[in-house]
Structure 1
């Protein structure tokens, strides 16, 4: 759901460029809630791999959220161009995402919408860091969360099954991201029929609930056992068996 407009803003005095997210209050309660939520969460966090909040400006009709500007591309676009990443490049991306997520989890924040489109290169340099963007679904975990939300292909079994869930959903999503980066394919895939989206999601969700994915040849033939093992630990169907972000950082891979 598009809650807001995003554009570049220039600070007149310094000429510095920022990202600006504009939420219109008249778009309803859901949008107001999303804006307030993002502001609360972003004010709590400061981490090199999270797009930093710069300023918030609230008028009678709008919320403006100003963030650092990431000038690099989405990881998603790289994958579309390249097909897949090497293990070295994948581990570089995944390590940074795990560091950011372990930090969020230490603050009891669940991101709930980790996906390739929300991972962005900070600048266009070859060794640019990765930053996580888009916190409108992030939530403070006081008790477990019930409401399902997120992007279908990345949803953890406990979200699909409408059980209570918490921080482990982010680790599952990182497993899905890692799988896609290494192989160029999503772990759970269902051919989309234009007229039958409902059945598409049903079949997709059935696979997710069963943890029904494979390391398909030829894509996985040359990938190390350690990499496969970490994907398996991140995509553990039982949330209490799943590896945490903190543990995953020190995994041998």
Structure 2
């Protein structure tokens, strides 16, 4: 079988083996596995090879074991284990496919072959997924893929397998590029709150990604059950999410699709332990990312405005997620809401209705404001968010960072009027705020303490003693949010 990933193979020489003089000491710094294999040179002739797998390549060492003499890049190559009988004895081997040719290696035992296959599967493409996993049922659908609950035949451990139709990948270059990027990025990640890609299989009709199975369901479904998240739970969950984003950004990766559906909980009994999934829209950071992508409602203004953007788009999306957790209402659920019309009007204000926000503290609302600032240069950084007063009040052991932002919370004069927020104000906005402040009772402007200084920088949000919730609005909002579809519009 010829792999669809062949054109992604970066082997420069055009040959299977590439000469090298890499020192073993250097290779062991990124060691994956090492041992002995017997290479088939020609029919009837095999040679013992001391093999070291490092990074994404397999190296053959010289006899003195100090230096490698040749290597093969395993990324995007198919590895097939096999068993053959010779003189009534079983021989256990593996075949590495390259340009429709097979290069055979033999292990010293069945157990030894299992170790080789297990480690090579972290880098290469495997075949015959049915030999290793028993498919149980479909547990999800999306785009051109189905998600199956499957059980590892040997260990009986549950996994989620994302099965992608090859016809939808081969015939559409953008889909192929997205799949290649998703696999590369997921294989580079190792974080407790990021779903793990264990293996990649290819058959004649499908590509199969073997992933962690998460039994708790996504955050959208959990929010429907809870109606809203109390501040402590919301803070702890967002703290973990910000830690994940900090890790991704340190790895040079932007997720670009942070939303409720892509936060999947580990169990039905815990509301904050999760893993981040779906790296199909993720990308490696560049100085000027421009592709318009994401999920409606979560997309940062700079993407909608067709401007170059940075990894701060993930912070904006996380802020929208926090808004929805705290209130139980998606911010953009009005009838006739259209993301393009918002981009055209350049009005990215959020709404804070008394009924949904009466139970939420001013500090929590301020965090939403900072995270969803339409100006990315004013948007709070992950480092500042992680050490903010609101987060720190629920997470022990954090050094509090007292943050000040040029943000104003504008409240309507009457209880029924909708509260609005807009940050990094223009001169017109600041003039309006000043005008409203003149209409309000005078306050002590003596900045004798940090608390007074903060109070002078924003209008106090009146907090109700007894919260009231409008369940019908929440259900409608979440229903609309669920029906929104991803878009990718160049």
Match of 2:210 in 1: 66
**Cα–Cα, structure 1 residues 55 and 46, in superposed 2: closer, same or farther, change >3 Å?**
same
Match of 1:201 in 2: 339
Q: How does 1:79-158 map to 2 (within 5 A)?
A: 79-126=223-270, 129-158=273-302
Q: Distance in 2 between matches of 1:201 and 1:153?
A: 7
**Cα–Cα, structure 1 residues 132 and 155, in superposed 2: closer, same or farther, change >3 Å?**
same
TM-score by length of 2: 0.48
Q: How does 1:9-28 map to 2 (within 5 A)?
A: 9-27=150-168, 28=171
Match of 2:475 in 1: none
| 1:4 paired to 2:148 | no
| Residue-by-residue CA offset, 1:165-195 (whole Å, 9 max, x unaligned) | 1201100000000000001112233314xxx
| 1:236 paired to 2:364 | no
What SS does structure 1 have at the residue aligned with 2:297? helix
Match of 1:222 in 2: 359
In the alignment, is the contact (CA less than 8 A) between 1:53 and 1:68 conserved in 2? yes
In the alignment, is the contact (CA less than 8 A) between 2:233 and 2:271 conserved in 1? no
Shift of 1:60: 4.5
Shift of 1:73: 1.7
| Residue-by-residue CA offset, 1:104-143 (whole Å, 9 max, x unaligned) | 0111111000100111111233366111111100100122
Q: Distance in 2 between matches of 1:46 and 1:3?
A: 26
Q: Distance in 1 between matches of 2:149 and 2:328?
A: 31
Query: Over alpha carbons, which structure has the higher Rg?
Result: 2
Shift of 1:222: 2.3
Q: CA RMSD in A?
A: 1.7
Greater percentage in strand: 2
2:182 to 34, 38, 43: 38
Q: Distance in 2 between matches of 1:153 and 1:31?
A: 23
Q: Distance in 2 between matches of 1:35 and 1:239?
A: 29
Return the structure number with greater relative CO, CA threshold 8 A, min gap 6. Answer: 1
Shift of 1:233: 0.7
Match of 1:195 in 2: none
Greater percentage in helix: 1
**Cα–Cα, structure 1 residues 223 and 183, in superposed 2: closer, same or farther, change >3 Å?**
same
What SS does structure 2 have at the residue aligned with 1:218? helix
Q: Distance in 1 between matches of 2:147 and 2:174?
A: 18
2:326 to 169, 182, 187: 182
5+ residue gaps, structure 2, are: 1-141, 391-490
| Residue-by-residue CA offset, 1:138-175 (whole Å, 9 max, x unaligned) | 10012221110111111110011010112011000000
In the alignment, is the contact (CA less than 8 A) between 2:297 and 2:332 conserved in 1? yes
What SS does structure 1 have at the residue aligned with 2:369? helix
Match of 1:210 in 2: 347
Q: Distance in 1 between matches of 2:366 and 2:344?
A: 23
Shift of 1:206: 4.7
Q: Distance in 1 between matches of 2:352 and 2:218?
A: 25
